Amino acid sequence: MTRPGLGETGGMSSASAAGVTVFLTGLSGAGKSTIADALVARLEADGRPVTVLDGDVVRTHLSSELDFSRAHRDLNIRRIGFVAGEVVKHGGTVVVAAIAPYEAAREEARELVERHGRFLLVHLSTPLEVCEGRDVKGLYAKARAGEIPGFTGIDDPYEAPARPDLVLDTSVTPLAESVARIRAAIDAAAAGAPGAVA
């Protein structure tokens, strides 16, 4: 019977397995879920399991009691950051797709993740006019009609990230290119991830 020797890699988690969170932020309709889906398909095809934290799903299962006040938006992002950190701690890959309009909350999420691994902030900077023109969910029309007060980009703020790792405008960047550029950023982060897993 053979057993891996203690002091090698056997038994405990591998120190080289640095986890990473890709955090997609941008207006409703900017392309977060679309890119997340394509990115996840690509990563899983490569044998890399991914935890997806999409704002809509998180608000159904993890934050169903929260509204869209600033306090609750921030709490939602804090929860997402905590969960992402727990997954990254064990070398996992997380893709977050959330409007996350406030810089301070995004930076809190970054801090929660960077305790355990890498955090890549991707700003989908698709202009409001394009997002509104797409109006995938019909929400902009309702917001303009006054039926959804406090809608990001209409009568609620979106603070553009001060230090994004990547900025992609989906009105000019094809989906495949967005996925490829995020992939490259993940690979670069993983390659240069000293001590990401303590």
Ligand X SMILES: Nc1ncnc2c1ncn2[C@@H]1O[C@H](COP(=O)(O)OP(=O)(O)OP(=O)(O)O)[C@@H](O)[C@H]1O
CB of 162 to ligand X, least distance (A): 20
Residues contacting ligand X: total by CB under 6 A: 21
Tokens representing residue 123 in the block: 């700003």
Which partner from the list Mg ion, ligand X, none does 137 bind, CB cut-off 5 to 8 Å by kind? ligand X
Q: Is 97 in the site for ligand X (CB under 6 A)?
A: yes
Q: How far apart are the first and last CA of the chain?
A: 31
Q: Is 73 in the site for ligand X (CB under 6 A)?
A: no
Q: Is 148 in the site for ligand X (CB under 6 A)?
A: no
Q: Is 186 in the site for ligand X (CB under 6 A)?
A: no
Which partner from the list ligand X, Mg ion, none does 31 bind, CB cut-off 5 to 8 Å by kind? ligand X
Q: Is 76 in the site for ligand X (CB under 6 A)?
A: no
Distance of alpha carbon 192 from alpha carbon 197, whole angstroms: 12
Q: Is 33 in the site for ligand X (CB under 6 A)?
A: yes
Q: Is 196 in the site for ligand X (CB under 6 A)?
A: no
Q: Is 136 in the site for ligand X (CB under 6 A)?
A: yes
Q: Is 35 in the site for ligand X (CB under 6 A)?
A: yes
Which partner from the list Mg ion, ligand X, none does 101 bind, CB cut-off 5 to 8 Å by kind? none
Query: Which of 21, 25, 33, 63 lies at the binding interface for Mg ion (CB under 5 A)?
Result: 33
Encode the chain in three state secondary structure. Answer: CCCCCCCCCCCCCCCCCCCEEEEEEECCCCCHHHHHHHHHHHHHHCCCCEEEEEHHHHHHHCCCCCCCCHHHHHHHHHHHHHHHHHHHHCCCEEEEECCCCCHHHHHHHHHHHHCCCEEEEEEECCCHHHHHHHCCCCHHHHHHCCCCCCCECCCECCCCCCCCCEEECCCCCCHHHHHHHHHHHHHHHHHCCCCCCC
Residues that bind Mg ion (CB under 5 A): 32-33
Residues that bind ligand X (CB under 6 A): 26, 28-35, 55-56, 97, 99, 134, 136-137, 170, 173-175, 178
